[in-house]
Amino acid sequence: MVDITHKSTTLRTATAQAVVKVSKSETIEAIKNDTVPKGHVFAMSKAAGLLGVKRTPDILPDCHPLPIEFTGVEYDINGLEITVLFTVKTIYKTGVEVEAMHGASVVALNMYDMLKPIDKGIEIHAIKLLEKKGGKSDFRDRFRKDLKAAVVVCSDTISAGHKEDKAGKAIIEKLESCDVKISEYVIIPDEIEDIKAKAKQYEAEGIDMVIYTGGTGLSGRDVTPEALIPLLDRRIPGIEEAIRNYGQDRTPFSMLSRSVAGTIKDTLILALPGSTNGAKESMDAIFPAVLHSFRILKGARHD
C-alpha cells in the first residue's frame, strides 16, 4: 500500500451515488408499501451498505484499513429511478472516497438482489463520487502563490565543511512543492549573533518566512531558540505544538526538541530540528497549512 505515515490526521468526508433504475412503476409501489417478498428494501440495503463499507480494505488491496466514524445513506425516488447517496466520514490520514463509492455500490447491488424476483429489468447506473473534503487539495488554492523563503542551516560542523547538509535541502524540497520560492539558502555556525543577523536581514528585505534548521536541541552549542526568541514580536505556540506532537507520534525523542515559531512584523520565523528526519517531519507537520498565516498577517478574514 502507499505510505501515508507522513500525513496528518484530519476530518475526511466523501459522498458517492448510485442510481438503481427499475423497469415498472409497480416495483416502486412495492418498495413504498413494503410488499417486496424479500423484506424492507431500503432498510436491508442500508444495512448491507454499512457492512460493505467496513470491508472495503478486505476487497480492494490498496485501500488502507481505517476507522469509519460516520456512515449515512439517503434515498431519492424520481420516477423509475432511485438515487442512493452514501456519505462516509473519518478522522484519519487518508480519504474515504473509495469507501463511499463501495458503500453506494453495495447498497445498489443489494437492492437489485431484493427486487429481481419481481422485476427482471433492473439496472444500476452512475456510480460516482459527488464530493470529498478534508484532503490537502481542499486548501492548496487558498494560499498565496508569491511567497518567498530563506533557509538557514545552523551547524558548526556543516559550516566548517565536515558534513553535508541534508536537512536544509529537505526543507527546500518541501517549500518548492508548496510553490514557495527560495530567496536564499545559507549555512552558518551556531553563533547567536550570526543567527540574529540573518533574521533581521531577511525581515528588512521583506522575506515572507525564514526557516532555520539546527540548534534546537539541548547541547551547549544549541542556541537557535536563545538567539531568535528575543527578536520575536509574537510566538505562535500552536505551530510549535503541532511540530512536537507530530514528531512524538514517530519518535519518543521529539519532546526534547525546542522548535520555535513566531513573527517579526510580517515575517514568519521557524526554528526546526537539525536532523534530516526531524526537519522533514516538522515540515510535513505544518505545511501547507502554515501558509494560511500569510493571509491573516495581511488582514484577510478567516473562512
Domain positions in the chain are 10-134, 148-298
pLDDT at 271: 98
Give the residue from 116, 101, 102 showing the smallest Cα distance to 22: 116
**Cross-strand partners of 86:** 16, 73
- Tens-place pLDDT, residues 38-55: 999 999 999 999 999 999
* Domain covering 148-298 assigned CATH 3.90.1150.10 in the classification: no
Q: In DSSP terms, which residues pair with 170 in a beta bridge?
A: none
Please compute the mean of the pLDDT values over residues 117-127 and round it to a whole number: 96
Q: Which of 113, 119, 179, 249 is catalytic?
A: 113
pLDDT tens-digit series, residues 137-147:
665 546 677 89
**pTM, two decimal places:** 0.75
> How do 260-264 and 234-235 pair as beta strands?
antiparallel
Is 194 a known active-site residue?
no
Nearest alpha-carbon partner for 239 in 303, 296, 167: 296
Q: Residue 286 belongs to what H/E stretch?
A: helix 276-286
What CATH code is assigned to 10-134? 3.30.70.640
79 Ramachandran zone, left/alpha/beta (phi>0; psi -120 to 50): left
Q: Can you name the residues that pair with 235 across neighbouring β-strands?
A: 262
